[in-house]
Chains A and B, each alone.
Chain A
Amino acid sequence: MTTAPISMSHAPGEYLHSFPGGVKLRHYKRMSCLHPIARPPMPDKLSLPLKQHVGSIAEPVVTVGQTVLKGELLAKPNNPFGALLHAPTSGYISAIDQQPVISPEHATGACITLIPDNEDIWHPSCQRMIPDWRHMPKHELIEHIATAGIVGLGGAVFPTHRKLNTDFAPPIKTLILNGAECEPYISCDEMLMREHPEEVLLGGQILAHALETVEHIIIALEDQMGEVEDDFQRARRLIDDPRIRICRVRTIYPEGGERQLIKVLTGLEVPSGGYPQQLGIVCVNVGTAWSVKRALVDRVPLIERVVTVTGAVNDPRNWLTLLGTPVSHLLKISGGFKQNVSRLVMGGPIMGMAISDDSISITKGFNCLLALQTHQLRNPQQSMPCINCTECVRVCPAKLMPQMLFHSIRTDNTADSSNLSLQDCIECGCCDLVCPSHIPLTEYFRWGKSQLRSRLHEQQRATKSELRYRARETRLKTEQDQKQQRRVARQQAASDQQLAQQNIAAALARVRNKQAAPEKPNDQDSDK
C-alpha cells in the first residue's frame, strides 16, 4: 500500500508529479480570448449582496439615501470569516433590501442598491499615501489586505487575510499562484495573466512578503497557454526575483483544484480535512494576487474583477466588471444570446452554479458567466442503474469509489458513506462526466455530504445534551450527597451531643453515687 508522501525530494515545481484520476476535456477557451479585457459601460444600478460568499453576512455601515464615494466602505462582516465590502463607484444608496441572489438555498438575500452618479469620484481613503509594502511588517500588510476586502477570486471566495495568518502552521516555504483554471470556457485568469503578468508577479511578491518565509513562488500555467508563459518569462526578467518559477502543468481537469495542483507541483497530498498550510504551502489564485497588488500599490480595494462572458452569446469576451453589475447588463453588452439558451451558469459547465434569474449581479467569486443552449445540457430524467463499470473509480481525483458511495447514499447508510470517505469528495464532477448510466452522482454526493454534516451536527448536539444531562445528574447527585452528608453530620452532631449529655449525666450520677457510697471493687487495686 502506498503511503502519502510527507516530504519533498525536489524543489516544488522542479519535477511535475501526477494526480490520480481526472478527465481530458475540450477547452472552449479561445472564443472568449479574442478581445482584450475591457470595462463595460456603467450600468444604471449596482446591486451588492451582503452575503458575498458562504459563511458570512456583512452588516451595512451606510444608510438608504446616503451618498457614497468610490472605494468607500459599505459593509463590515459580522464574523472573522467575512470580508469588507466597498462602493464600486460613487453614487447614492437607493435601497437596502431583499433582492435575488445566486445561492441556491435562498432565492433572495439582503443587497445594497447603489445608483451610480457617473462621476466616479474616489473616496479619500483610496488616495491616502501608504508606505511601501517592502518596509511593512507582516501584520500591517495583512491588515491592509483585509481592509481592501480581498478574497480568493478563483471561486472559493475565502478571505485572503485569513489565509495569510499562519501563526499556527509551520513556516510557509512555498507560495503557489494558481493560473490553471481547468474548467472549460473560463478564461478570465488567462487573459489577466496575458495582460498584466508583472502585476500578478508583484502581487505574488507582496503575498510572499506577508508570509515572511517563502522560498519559492510558483506560477502554475496550463500547458496550452503558450503565449502566457512568454509574457511571464519577460515579466520575470524585469522583476528579477530568484524565487519565482513558472510551471506549465498538463491541462487535465481538475488540475487547477488546490489539492491536485499541490500534488502535481510538490508530490505532497494535503491531509484529508486539513489545509495546505500544514505542508508549508499557501495557494492563491492569480486574480487574487493581482488584487493584492492593486490594493497595496494602487490603493484600490476589491471593487471589480475580470469576468468571462461566454458560451452561447454573440460576442464572448472578458470584462473588468464592477461588483454589483447585473448579469443582464453584461449579457447585453456581450451581444446577447444565441438561439435556445436555457441555462445561465456562474462558473464553468462542470462545477458552476445555475442562475435562475438574470437580474442577479456580479459578486467577488463570479469568475465566469456561461450561457448554455438546451442541446448542450444533460437530461436529468434519463438515468439508468449503475452497471459498475468503474469508470468513475478511474477518474476520481480523490481516489474514492463513487459507485459504492452512490449506493450507500441511496440506501441512506450514512455509516457506510463516511467509511467510504464521502467527506473527501471534492465535488469535481469527474465521475458524472464519464458515467454511462448518466447518474447524477455529484448531486447525490452534495446531498450525502449535507446529510453527513447534519448527522454530525445532531450527534454533537446529542452528545452535548447528554453531557449537560450527565452534568445535571452529577450536580443533583452531589447536591443530594451533600445534603445527606450534612444531614448525617447534623444527626451525628446531635447524637454526639446526646452522648455527651448522657456521659455528663452518667458522670454526674457516678459522682452522686460515689458521694452516697464509695466504690468497692476498684479500691482493691489501690490497696495493694
Chain B
Amino acid sequence: MKFSWSGAPHVPAQTSVAGVMQQVLLALTPGVIALTWFFGTGVLIQLVLALVFAYLFEYLMLRLRKQPVALFLSDYSAAVTAVLFALCIPPLAPWWISLIGMFFAMVIAKHLYGGLGHNRFNPAMVGLAVILISFPLIFTHWSPPRSLAETQLSLSHVISIIFTGNPIVAGWDAITMATPLDTLRTGSARGLLVTEVRTASVFGDYGGLGWEWVANWYCLGGLWLLYRRVIHWRVPLALLGTVFILTTPLYLFDPDANPLPLQHIFSGATMLAAFFIATDPVSGCSTPKGQLLFGCGVAILLLVIRRWGAYPDGVAFAILVMNMFAPLIDRYTRPRVFGHPG
C-alpha cells in the first residue's frame, strides 16, 4: 500500500491569517459601537463606505496582479484596513474621502508594494496621512459628542450630508465642533493656559468627553487581543508607557502649560494606535527589543507632533515614520541565538 509523502510537520497550524484578522475586527467592535453611540450614525456610514471601496480596490488589484482572488479576498485584511481608516476620519466627512483614502491605502501602499505581507507602510495610515495633508479642513468638521450635540441628526440626514456635502438644516457650526485636541491646540496658540482650555465643554474627566469612553472600549478590545495572543504586549506597553513617562514630569513641573498625562492617553487615537495600529505586524518591528523601540518611537513622535506639529493628531505620521525605521531597528536588535555567546 502506498501513502502520501511530505516533509514534517504533518499536522497543520491552528491559526490562519483570516482568523487573526477576524479577531482584530472582533476586538474593534466595542470601540466602533462606542464611537457610534457618542458621535452618531455617521461612523457606521463611513465604515460601510471604507469597506466597499477597500474591497473594490483589493479586488481590482488582485485581478490586475493575477493573484488568487478568492484566497486573498477572504483574508479579512482589507476589512481591518478599512475599519481602522474609517475610525480615524470625521463621521460626517464626504463620501469621496473614503474613496481617496482607500485608493492610497489599498492600491499604493498595499498592492504596489507587493500585496499582503509586503507593504512597508501601514496602509490605513497612508490613506489617512494623504487625507490629512490634502484636506486638513475636513478634520475640523467633527461631530460633537452625544451630550453636547444641539441637534440629533437623523440617519437620512447624515447620509445626505455625507453624499452631498451640504449641512442642509443648519450650518456646519451647528452640527460639528472642534475635537478636544484641536481645542487644546488653538487654545494654547491663543496663549491660554491648559487649565483654562480644559474648562471647555468638550473635555471630560481626563480626555475628551466621549473620547475617553471610546478609548476605554478600544483598550478592552486590545486587552482581549493580548489575551488571545493576537498581538504582543511590547508595542502597546512601550507606547502607552512612554507617553505616560514623558508627559508626567512635564505636567508636574508646569500643569498650566502641559496637559494631564492621562489626557494624552485618552484622547485622539492614542489608544487605537497602541493596540491596533502600531501593532500591525507587517509594517512594524519583529524583534522583541525592536518592538519596544517601535512603541517608544511612535509615542515620542506622537507627542512631538501634538505639541509642535501643524496637525491636531500625529498618530498617522508617527506610525509612518516609525514604519520607515522598522527594518533598520530589526537589523540591530536581533536576539542572541541559543547556544551563542552573548
Contact = CB atoms under 8 A, between A and B. Distances in A.
A345 B338 CA distance: 29
A525 B16 CA distance: 118
Contacts of A1: 336, 342
A353 B118 contact: no
Interface in B1-39: 1-17, 19-20
A433 B9 contact: yes
A526 interface: no
Contacts of B15: 391, 434-436
B8 to A, nearest CB: 5
B117 A382 contact: no
Interface in A339-374: 341-345, 347, 349-358, 372
Interface stretch (B146-154, B160-168, B238-246, B282-290): B282-290
Contacts, number: 182
A354 B11 contact: no
A9 interface: no
A186 interface: no
Contact of B337 (A394, A404, A424, A436): A424
A272 interface: yes
A288 interface: no
B7 A344 contact: no
B341 interface: yes
B286 A404 contact: yes
B3 A343 contact: yes
Interface string A303-347: 000000000000000000000000010000000000001111101
A237 to B, nearest CB: 37
Interface stretch (A117-125, A244-252, A437-445): A437-445
Interface in B253-273: none
Contact of A399 (B12, B115, B232, B337): B337
A274 B229 CA distance: 34
Nearest to A438: B13
B182 interface: no
B137 interface: no
B116 interface: yes
B116 A272 contact: no
B282 A358 contact: no
Contacts of B1: 328, 357-358
A104 interface: yes
Interface string B96-117: 0000000000000000001111
A378 to B, nearest CB: 4
Interface in B291-339: 291, 330, 334-339
Contact of B13 (A104, A354, A398, A436): A436
B117 A387 contact: yes
B281 interface: yes
A379 B291 CA distance: 32
A438 B2 CA distance: 26
Contacts of B2: 356-357
Interface string A369-404: 000100011111010111111110110011111011
Given A269-B338, A342-B4, A343-B4, A401 B286 contact: yes
Contacts of A3: 336, 341-342
A445 B150 CA distance: 63
A436 B12 contact: no
A46 B265 CA distance: 73
B9 A349 contact: yes
A390 B336 contact: no
A343 B336 CA distance: 38
A20 interface: yes
Contacts of A349: 8-11
A101 to B, nearest CB: 13
Contacts of A433: 9, 11, 13-14
A442 B339 contact: no
B8 A352 contact: yes
A400 B337 contact: yes
Contacts of A20: 338
Nearest to B279: A389
Q: Which of B1, B19, B284, B341 has the most CB of A within 10 A?
A: B1
B28 to A, nearest CB: 17
B71 interface: yes
A4 interface: yes
B9 A384 contact: no
A436 B17 contact: yes
A440 B7 contact: yes
A386 B114 CA distance: 12
Contacts of A421: 337, 340
A270 interface: yes
Contacts of A434: 13-15
A417 to B, nearest CB: 13
Contacts of A259: 338-339
B7 A442 contact: yes
Contact of A4 (B7, B116, B339): B339
A271 interface: yes
A443 B8 CA distance: 7
Interface in A403-462: 403-404, 420-421, 424, 427, 429, 432-438, 440, 442-443, 446
A443 B9 CA distance: 9
A343 B10 contact: yes
A259 B9 CA distance: 20
A515 interface: no
25 contacts: A272-B339, A273-B339, A328-B1, A343-B10, A350-B8, A350-B9, A354-B6, A354-B8, A358-B1, A372-B11, A376-B10, A377-B12, A384-B71, A387-B117, A388-B286, A390-B291, A393-B287, A397-B338, A400-B337, A401-B335, A403-B286, A421-B340, A436-B15, A438-B13, A440-B7
Interface of A: 1-4, 19-20, 104, 259, 263, 269-274, 328, 341-345, 347, 349-358, 372, 376-380, 382, 384-391, 393-394, 397-401, 403-404, 420-421, 424, 427, 429, 432-438, 440, 442-443, 446
Given A399-B335, A424-B339, 18 more contacts: A2-B336, A263-B338, A269-B339, A345-B8, A356-B4, A376-B11, A377-B4, A380-B6, A385-B118, A387-B17, A387-B281, A388-B117, A388-B284, A421-B337, A429-B9, A434-B13, A436-B20, A437-B16
The 8 A-B pairs of least Cβ separation, nearest first, read: A3-B342, A385-B117, A378-B12, A272-B339, A429-B9, A436-B15, A350-B9, A389-B281
